[in-house]
Amino acid sequence: MTVLLKPSTLIPKGMRVEQIDRLSLFKSTDELGDRMQTLLDRKKADILTPEEIIELEAIGELDEIFSYINAAIATVKR
């Protein structure tokens, strides 16, 4: 049975808020960004474990959520 990793579990250590102009935007921490890059490199080398595939998917989903929220914030602030 495959256990899913919820993107929300990554938020406590993987999210930071960055002030850009007058906007407060959600960003991944350097640590989470580095982990994503490591997993992408392992994927490219075709050596990801099943657990790492799940982790990469969760980080990618969290990145999409941040992008969506940031776009909404930017739209409202205009």
- 3-class secondary structure per residue, the chain: CCCCCCHHHHHHHHEEEEEECCEEEEEECHHHHHHHHHHHHHHHCCCCCHHHHHHHHHHHHHHHHHHHHHHHHHHHHC
pLDDT for 4 equals 84
Query: pTM for the full model?
Result: 0.88
* CA separation for the pair 65, 15 (Å, rounded): 11
Dump pLDDT digits (tens) for 44-72.
999 999 999 999 999 999 999 999 999 99
Unique residue bearing structure tokens 């960004």: 33
| Each residue's pLDDT tens digit, 1-38 | 566 899 999 999 999 999 998 899 999 999 999 999 99
What's the pLDDT score for residue 76?
A: 87
